């Protein structure tokens, strides 16, 4: 196996920058033989960027009830499930169920009946 960093240092007579190391690593991962998994991994990353982390299922805009909208706004502010349950005076399990069933957090354009809550962005 070739040592691309060593080759770079010899060719350029200097150490590579972080950005150059990243480019070298990406080039190696895509070009070396026997790396079928890396291509599948790249495909999953591209798929996740397009579809979200829902296993290839696209998020479609939906209507949310008031509680789900409050939970969504709090999640977008990086508040934990436990704290959301305390703020809204509901069970932590209920918060988890709403998040799972409604695929939260969602952006404003993915909510059909979006209205600003007091935690809104």
DSSP per-residue letters across the chain: ---HHHHHHHHHSSPPPHHHHHHHHHHHHHHSTT-HHHHHHHHHHHHHHHH-SSTTPPP--B---HHHHHHHHHHHTT--HHHHHHHHTS-HHHHHHHHHHHTSS--GGGBTT----TT--
pLDDT in tens, 21-40: 888 887 777 766 665 556 77
| pTM exceeds 0.75 | no
Measure the CA–CA gap between 36 and 33, rounded to whole angstroms: 8
**Tell me: the pLDDT tens digits for 65-82?**
999 999 999 998 999 999
Domain positions in the chain are 4-51, 66-110
């Amino acid at each position: 196996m070739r040592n691309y960093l060593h080759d770079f240092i010899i060719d350029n007579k200097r150490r590579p920058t972080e950005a150059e190391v990243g480019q070298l690593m990406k080039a190696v991962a895509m070009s070396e033989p026997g790396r079928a998994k890396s291509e599948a991994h790249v495909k999953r990353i591209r798929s996740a960027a397009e579809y979200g982390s829902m296993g290839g299922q696209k998020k479609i805009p939906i209507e949310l009830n008031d509680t789900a909208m409050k939970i969504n706004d709090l999640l977008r502010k990086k508040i934990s499930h436990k704290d959301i349950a305390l703020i809204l005076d509901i069970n932590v399990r209920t918060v988890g169920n709403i998040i799972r069933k409604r695929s939260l957090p969602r952006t404003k354009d993915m909510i059909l009946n979006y209205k600003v809550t007091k935690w809104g962005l």
